[in-house]
Structure 1
Amino acid sequence: MEAADKPKKRQRMSVVCLNCKTRKIKCDKKRPACSNCVKCNVGHLCEYEPPHWVTRASMSSASNAIQAIAQQIEPNGTPLPALMPPISAPLAPFPETVNSPPRTASSDNAADAQMEVKEELMRLRAQIQSLQSSVVGSHELNTDTVDFYELYNALHTKRSSMEEHKPLCSVTHYKKDQFSAVLSGYFNLCCALFKAKYGDLKKKQESQKTRLDASLTEFLYLLGERESPEVVEVVSKFIQERMPKNDQNNNISFLLPNKHTKGTDTILSHVQSLLPTLGVIKLYLNRFYQFIYPYFPFVDKKVLNERIFTLLRAQDDESAVSIVIDDKFDMLSLAQLLIILRMVHIAQPSCTKDVVLKQNPISAELIGSAVTIISLFKITRKTKLSVIQTLILLRLYLLYAPEDGDGSELTQSQTLFAMIVQSAYAIGLNRDASNHPQMDFDKDLSNLWRRVWYGILDIDRVISTLAGHICCIQNLHSYNVEFPIVDETDSLIDREVTEEYRRSEPLLKMYYDLSNMVNNLANSPRVCDLLDLLNRMEVYVNINYSLETMQPLVESTSDAADVTNFINSKRFLHQFQVYSFKLAVYQSLTLHYESLEYQDPKKSREFLVKNLEAAQNVTNIACKFLMNQYNNYVDSDHKFYLNRFIENVFQRAMNTLICLLIRLYHASDLMSRSIGNNSEALVGEITELTFRIASGVNVLVQNTLGTKYYQAFKTSLKYKFYIRSLRSEGYKCIRDTIEFIDDKFLDDPAARLTMLLRIDLTLGTSTALKQLDSMNYLITSSREFLLQVKNIVSGFDILEDKSLSNEQVIWEPSFKQLSLNEIRGVQTVDDATLLRGLGVGEFLPREVEQTSNSLNLGQLLTVNGPVRFDDLFKTNEEYDDWLSRL
């Protein structure tokens, strides 16, 4: 026997069941099911780890077992009574059953019993199918290693900053993907040519306060939509929400001592002018505690209310408030109030029936005032719990802020969060409250201590890993904090929040593991280990956060409705999170095996299929969510929590569709020249389907999230330009970009390099087109594989919506499907009220030249005479129009 075939020494197997091992609780090791699993009604899922040298049973045997169960349950088409309630969570019972007695066959009618059995059987079949799909083709483990930092230049430098694009973020995929990189370069080249002709839109007078960044103006000019009434309406709303970029209140200036900080009296006077009446503030606080607090329980409701209504003085609820500060740290409570008011305002759905809140909007200036208040404290030198609470609220506001957001990858505030983590360690939040005598006697304070720590841990695992960042909390042994203590005095929602901490702990650990694997610079991860981790995530989520077993809101009592909303929202969150990871990893692996260094067409096709399947599944879920088809499970008041995560997952899915679309147009181009296989007609059919999907998804996102979030609006315009360019030019836009660089700067390497840097594109020699030709694995794919791709693409549900997935929709102006009243309904307020204190006048764009369609490279090279290429390397006079004047 060869050495490789010999079993490893000390092959010790775990003697406890896998469920107890995951939960880290004592197991009595009973067979066939331990007492803990039996108690949780999951005895049939109690499993023990087999010896490592034993070959695992094939998945077909599991399928046969399920079929046998089905035959026993329905031998003659008549189901037997239910033997047990449906699985809710193998590691912890779902909280909706906490206050109700366990259901049995004797207490339920025959219809309920039949439904329970069928649901249980469907769940088991789905789990087996998921496990089967995860091991297809993996009889030989893929032991290849992948360096996620290869194949692209991670460092992005600008005049004002430097940023390293992490391995799993969407921008990185555009850099790694040679096809998409050229398409992105095509857009940047069009922008450069446009500015060479019409002036640099980024050039501003130093004293001018701008509310619009130049990248958006470039999109609108190139799309020919700068005068569309609907676009004007949406852009106006975002401008009104934003503070000027160079406004002193728009910067987080508290990281260093600010010598120019306003005096306390000046701050209070300004805040008082922005605050609504006391009665309106009470309505906002009530809404915060009901709809936002369950997701971010970082304050003590009783203590915060006492402090706030001690600070605020008013004759009655209809009177304006005055602020009385007795202690310096009362200012922190005031800052928390300002952030909370603004968060409640942006979280309101456009369809809210609360007329009072509609008539009393909260300006973004309150956030600037909160930042100014925080700058009064030397938080870089010392901190306390109330400071950390305020900073966490600010961090979360930046995540959901409609005017700027936290970037397309949700990580622009990561530096601030790192400071929050270090502050938490500094005051000992990483140790349980029972270790600190000052708070051990106070249950509420102890539980707050624990909730703040677990909230920080949750943000770290969810947000950091979403962009492939390394987690800020690295050492798993550096903290030891118990879960909040629950007793009969706690509300239903407080109990569920604690239960969610328990339920999500194993999953957050998997997020942490994925982040570390991707960012392991010393030892690159193996492909099989990455796939195994993704499969374990999927299995855990499908069991503990399944969408199939969500409880409808109509089945909840009025008191339990918010609990049901919370549970269902968490299910959606982790479903989106896992799909985001799958899309990011599968896309990276597809590009890895497509690259010339590691080219393996078979594996490229394998991961393309996985990537498309993940994109199809998550897009179908997210589209239904945005189309309000899940309103029976999550009502409009709770949807804000998921919006930014849906935006992120849509961006990853759109990247997958755009990448496929480029390769399809490329394959058609090659096949038309008799290169590759003879499947041009089939490729054309797939191209048509993919184009309709990408167009429909982009329009849906633009008309829902794009009217509320500035980042979503910008991203939708980018994808619209890409889709239009590919539709009108096909692969020609890729070829023209490369040929333009080669032809115009053939004899001037320095100018060529300057141009490449200007459009953020890295190309090799003039053989770049030949390299792309050799990388496209679609031209060598079998007809069977192309039919498989077509079958997956045909499964996107948005194709059934003819109003979204049609040829015309991508050529219409943005938001054409929405009325101005609908767009204004998202705004919910009149401009003058919202702009209180900003000093912005009425928005009246003046007439400028319009274009009916997008500008392409050819038009930019010929319209109004030939371009002067010297102008590509210098700044021209500002082009005066309504966008640049903003």
Structure 2
Amino acid sequence: MNGAPVKRQRPNKSCTICREKKTKCDREKPICGTCKKRNQSGLCRYEGPEWTIKVGDQNFVTPVQSSVKKPRVKKHTQEQLPYQRQFQVNNVRIPQTRTESVKSDDAKYTNRLRVESLLSPSAPPSTYSASGNSDRAAHSMDGDDADGDDILDFYKDNYVDPGVFADGTLTWVTLLKKDIYSRALVICFNKNAILKKIKNSQMDDHYFTNKFMAEDDTDSAVPECPAKTSEIAGKNFIESLRDELKDNKLTWLLIEKFFESELYCNLPILDKEDFTEQISRIIPPRDSKSGDNKLNITGKFQLAALGILLMVMRFSSLSVYNAGKPLPQPISPNDQYIVDHPVTKDVVTLAKACLEELSVLKQSHLVIFQLSLLLQHYNFFAPEDCDCITASTITNMGPLLHHAISSGLNRDPTVSRPKYPKPNLLRRLWYLLEYMDYYQLMLVGYAPIINHSFHDTQIPILDHNDSALQYVINEAFHDRRKIHEVCRPLLMLILNVREPPKIRDVLNQMKGLEEHVEKIPKYDELLRMPSDTVIHRYNKLRIHNGTADSCALLFMIYYNFFLHYNDKRNSEKSLYYMLQLLRISKYLYTSVHFLRKPDEQNEKFNLNKHFGIGILALPKIELCLHKISEFMIALLGRIKVHKALLGLNVDQQRLELLDKIGRLTFKICYFIVDACANISDTYYHAWSISKIQSFIIEKVFINREGRLGPHSLTQIEAHYVEVVEELRSQDDGFFLYSTNDLKQILNALELMDTESLGQTPSPERLLTDLNSYKSKNDQLWFDQMMFENSFNVNEGGNNSTNFNGFSNNNGIGNNTPVTANNVPMNELDLQEIPDLWDPFRSNTISDLEQMFHYTINDY
């Protein structure tokens, strides 16, 4: 051979980023560890191999030939894709018919992917448009085997009108926008809602409406008196503090309750010794007389400690209730004293006033940050305001982060405060703030604001010399970090606005989350764990809340897959994700037992028995049940529309399956509404769910069995079907299901029904209960809204309501249904709302709750 020596060409095994930066790559796929550490997961790419063959003076780039040893390429067939896994619930196998064909599609997809990786040195630049209107053919190959390259846009339909507030893509509100069977409800009523003619301006529902108008109407007039000061009007600020702290025995009992219960484990914001020392300088000692309520306030800075004290008292007072009801007898004398002397939510207003007084200080102080953090965490659990979104947490993250950095919490105490005696406390404060950022990323779907390049604070160090309680508290931060590390790459991928992810990439990143959820103890295992000590109960609490977070995230991702394949008319994969949603729903639906009526409660499902303090677990239960109910209501909508459009020509076997599915779905919805109604005298969000969804189910989705002819539908049902028919081109996957597919859905619902609370209620009971839920506890909340907004009350009304969030302390002995002007509900009479009065003219799909606040009593 003559000529220049031939240079060997080896395939590039390192990722493009490591080769560009000339750093060592661990070659882990799909994202190398080096890129993960750099927070460049979204840029990590691997190029396929190619060979340059020199023939004369020309170079040719050719793919690998069969005679050449192929480089190792990670095979997707070695790791199961979600729709390759066998669908099982409690080891009961659900028969699979059409989902089996998905596996053959995956085999084609895998082979095609292997060839593509060899033929193409790099993926072509995406032509995807952020508007979501790009041609689908530009991003996919011919045939069903190419859907791995399809774009899965999690922001699709999240911006429906210019200027509409975009809720986080992972909240339940987005289901109303993305799923046409839920969106049609809002469109239907928004276009043809009934304008309530308010003849009496003091009507109770006026206060209901005003609450949301005040929050949404940016053009409303500025009140002469600020709303904040009106709540403590007529009293000096210090006098208000003295009134709340006048019972010295109660104050010290509540402090002790906080630090000796699961509250401290869940909110390790304070150090007990430092806090009690600060408070002892301000209020009388434990053994002083109860009438001695002198406060020794020597400086404004002590208001921060008083604000923290007020929040500690509020948390501890709420801890003696189980799902809003007092603990069953017998209880300890101290707990009974706390029950007899409830701390109302007025103390939260005072605590915020303390913080406002300190806002003029130019320097940051640790105790002020602790008060701010405690107030923000209260939003997670506040029964009077929690809404499963906690938007206020998001809006206050910026000031909190700035305050934390100004206090040096973003640097490890070994650097910022080397002489501080309790460095783990400072680390906890930082990671409690980081958890709020993690919350808005994982459960709300907002972009994180904490940049990991700008903090080096270590996770609280595990020291075996610490007490068992302190060790468990620090261990919880490590467990939370593990879940965060599993979910963060997935979340950063699906929430990428500039480059929406491909299905293949989402499936690869989902594996860690799916494996994590599979390992989580199910409710039967969780409830069998010991509950004898605070540590036992706290361990169960963090498992429960972590499970709810992980399952809620996986639920929303599966839902997006389900809607995507409905839009693509891929019934096999649509069916798979429908079954996956039902599988997660079955597990989470078990929690409905915790919200049973006190006389029906099973000792097995007792919040305080298992988790110590019910208020710490109940918001997560509400979060999961609300998402399940939204999914079930949309399923009822699919059945209603399917039967209505088929009319009298529906096949008998298919009709029977649809009726059985509808019956079980309706039953599940009913029990969720019933559970929310049971705590609606305590939890505002539960009251809102029971009031609104009972209206929707009764008026639109009442389960009508048998054939639905043209004259079988009510006016409101017919209009709903008409609206869906206009949108059905975006989602008609349910119409493509075969009878075998429907049988699989029915089997999954039957397994879910095993978790129901008893036999199917009679139709008479369903209608009676649903009708009563619309107005149950209305007067309690109307009184509260009147009090908060300083409205004038009707003659004979109670204008001195002192609401504390629990009906047993309100003086309300019964829950008499209340309707506007006591007028019976009349037949539906649709008429157009004038644009000048319609608050939804620029907010068509923003929030179903706000829509129905205007129409609920008119049907």
1:164 alignment partner, SS class: coil
1:412 alignment partner, SS class: helix
Whichever residue aligns with residue 149 of structure 2, its letter is: T
Whichever residue aligns with residue 672 of structure 1, its letter is: G
2:127 is matched with: none
2:627 is matched with: 652
Q: Offset of 1:272 from its aligned partner?
A: 0.8
Q: Offset of 1:684 from its aligned partner?
A: 1.5
Q: 2:266 aligns with which of 295, 314, 317?
A: 295
1:193 is matched with: 194
2:539 alignment partner, SS class: helix
User: 1:529-561 CA distances to partner (integer Å, 9 max, x unpaired)?
Assistant: 3333333123234446665654856574xxxx1
| TM-score after normalising by structure 2 | 0.69
- Specify every segment of 5 or more residues in structure 1 that has no aligned partner in the other structure, as ranges: 1-5, 26-50, 61-121, 127-131, 218-244, 254-259, 742-762, 862-866, 877-882
1:708 is matched with: 682
Aligned residue runs from structure 1 range 427-826, under 5 A: 427-436=407-416, 439-444=417-422, 446-473=423-450, 475-487=451-463, 490-543=466-519, 550=526, 552=528, 554=530, 556=532, 561-595=533-567, 598-623=568-593, 629-631=604-606, 634-635=609-610, 637-674=612-649, 679-704=654-679, 706-728=680-702, 769-772=725-728, 775-797=731-753, 800-802=756-758, 805-813=761-769
Change (3 A) 1:486 1:842: closer
1:181 is matched with: 183
Q: Is the 8 A contact 2:13 2:27 kept in 1?
A: no
User: 1:573-599 CA distances to partner (integer Å, 9 max, x unpaired)?
Assistant: 11111111122112222223334xx44
Q: Take 1:611 and 1:155, find their aligned partners in 2: how far apart are those partners?
A: 29
Equivalent residue pairs, number: 683
Q: Take 2:79 and 2:169, find their aligned partners in 1: how far apart are those partners?
A: 33
Whichever residue aligns with residue 609 of structure 1, its letter is: L
Change (3 A) 1:651 1:124: closer
Deviates more, 1:165-174 or 1:618-627: 618-627
Whichever residue aligns with residue 422 of structure 1, its letter is: H
Change (3 A) 1:791 1:178: same
Q: Take 2:487 and 2:753, find their aligned partners in 1: how far apart are those partners?
A: 29
1:811 alignment partner, SS class: helix
Q: Take 1:600 and 1:125, find their aligned partners in 2: how far apart are those partners?
A: 26
1:416 is matched with: 396
User: 1:475-524 CA distances to partner (integer Å, 9 max, x unpaired)?
Assistant: 22222112334446532221001111112212113333343223211110
2:52 is matched with: none
Whichever residue aligns with residue 512 of structure 2, its letter is: R
The reply to whether residue 53 of structure 1 matches residue 76 of structure 2 is no
Change (3 A) 1:735 1:585: farther
Q: Take 2:651 and 2:440, find their aligned partners in 1: how far apart are those partners?
A: 43
Change (3 A) 1:573 1:799: closer
1:477 alignment partner, SS class: helix
Q: Take 1:456 and 1:322, find their aligned partners in 2: how far apart are those partners?
A: 35
Q: Take 1:249 and 1:285, find their aligned partners in 2: how far apart are those partners?
A: 32
Q: Take 1:694 and 1:351, find their aligned partners in 2: how far apart are those partners?
A: 27
1:271 is matched with: 241
Q: Is the 8 A contact 1:154 1:166 kept in 2?
A: no
Q: Offset of 1:388 from its aligned partner?
A: 1.3
Q: Take 2:490 and 2:714, find their aligned partners in 1: how far apart are those partners?
A: 37
Deviates more, 1:724-733 or 1:140-149: 724-733
Change (3 A) 1:398 1:167: same
Q: Take 2:266 and 2:92, find their aligned partners in 1: how far apart are those partners?
A: 32
Aligned residue runs from structure 1 range 198-277, under 5 A: 198-199=197-198, 212-213=208-209, 251=228, 266-277=236-247
Whichever residue aligns with residue 506 of structure 1, its letter is: K
Change (3 A) 1:305 1:246: farther
The reply to whether residue 335 of structure 1 matches residue 307 of structure 2 is yes
1:164 is matched with: 166
Q: Is the 8 A contact 2:636 2:701 kept in 1?
A: no
Change (3 A) 1:529 1:737: farther
Aligned residue runs from structure 1 range 799-878, under 5 A: 800-802=756-758, 805-813=761-769, 834=802, 850=822, 859-861=827-829, 869=832, 874=837
Change (3 A) 1:507 1:795: same
2:165 alignment partner, SS class: strand
Whichever residue aligns with residue 482 of structure 1, its letter is: Q
User: 1:242-282 CA distances to partner (integer Å, 9 max, x unpaired)?
Assistant: xxx9897865x9xxxxxx99999931111111224111111
Q: Take 1:793 and 1:125, find their aligned partners in 2: how far apart are those partners?
A: 13
Q: Offset of 1:647 from its aligned partner?
A: 0.7
Q: Take 2:746 and 2:810, find their aligned partners in 1: how far apart are those partners?
A: 53
Q: 2:151 aligns with which of 138, 141, 145?
A: 145
Q: Offset of 1:377 from its aligned partner?
A: 2.2
User: 1:727-771 CA distances to partner (integer Å, 9 max, x unpaired)?
Assistant: 448698999569869xxxxxxxxxxxxxxxxxxxxx9xx996254
Q: Offset of 1:433 from its aligned partner?
A: 0.3
2:305 alignment partner, SS class: helix
1:540 alignment partner, SS class: helix
Q: Offset of 1:58 from its aligned partner?
A: 5.3
Aligned residue runs from structure 1 range 271-420, under 5 A: 271-289=241-259, 290-313=261-284, 316-349=288-321, 350-352=325-327, 353=331, 354-378=335-359, 382-405=363-386, 407-420=387-400
Q: Take 2:343 and 2:447, find their aligned partners in 1: how far apart are those partners?
A: 35
Q: Take 2:612 and 2:347, find their aligned partners in 1: how far apart are those partners?
A: 22
Q: Offset of 1:643 from its aligned partner?
A: 0.9
Q: 1:9 aligns with which of 13, 34, 48?
A: 13
Change (3 A) 1:874 1:298: closer
Q: Take 2:185 and 2:564, find their aligned partners in 1: how far apart are those partners?
A: 19
In percent, how many aligned pairs have the same letter? 17
Q: Offset of 1:211 from its aligned partner?
A: 6.1
Q: Is the 8 A contact 2:158 2:167 kept in 1?
A: no
Whichever residue aligns with residue 73 of structure 2, its letter is: W
Q: Take 1:248 and 1:492, find their aligned partners in 2: how far apart are those partners?
A: 51
| TM-score after normalising by structure 1 | 0.67
Change (3 A) 1:263 1:529: same
Q: Take 1:155 and 1:381, find their aligned partners in 2: how far apart are those partners?
A: 41
Q: Offset of 1:378 from its aligned partner?
A: 3.0
Q: Take 1:419 and 1:329, find their aligned partners in 2: how far apart are those partners?
A: 19
Whichever residue aligns with residue 828 of structure 2, its letter is: L
2:265 alignment partner, SS class: coil
- Specify every segment of 5 or more residues in structure 2 that has no aligned partner in the other structure, as ranges: 1-9, 16-23, 38-70, 81-88, 94-98, 111-147, 214-221, 784-797, 840-855
2:63 is matched with: none
Q: Offset of 1:623 from its aligned partner?
A: 3.7
User: 1:90-138 CA distances to partner (integer Å, 9 max, x unpaired)?
Assistant: xxxxxxxxxxxxxxxxxxxxxxxxxxxxxxxx99999xxxxx99x9675
Q: Is the 8 A contact 2:661 2:749 kept in 1?
A: yes
Q: Offset of 1:187 from its aligned partner?
A: 4.6
Q: Take 2:527 and 2:752, find their aligned partners in 1: how far apart are those partners?
A: 25
Q: Is the 8 A contact 1:294 1:566 kept in 2?
A: yes
Q: Is the 8 A contact 1:430 1:478 kept in 2?
A: yes
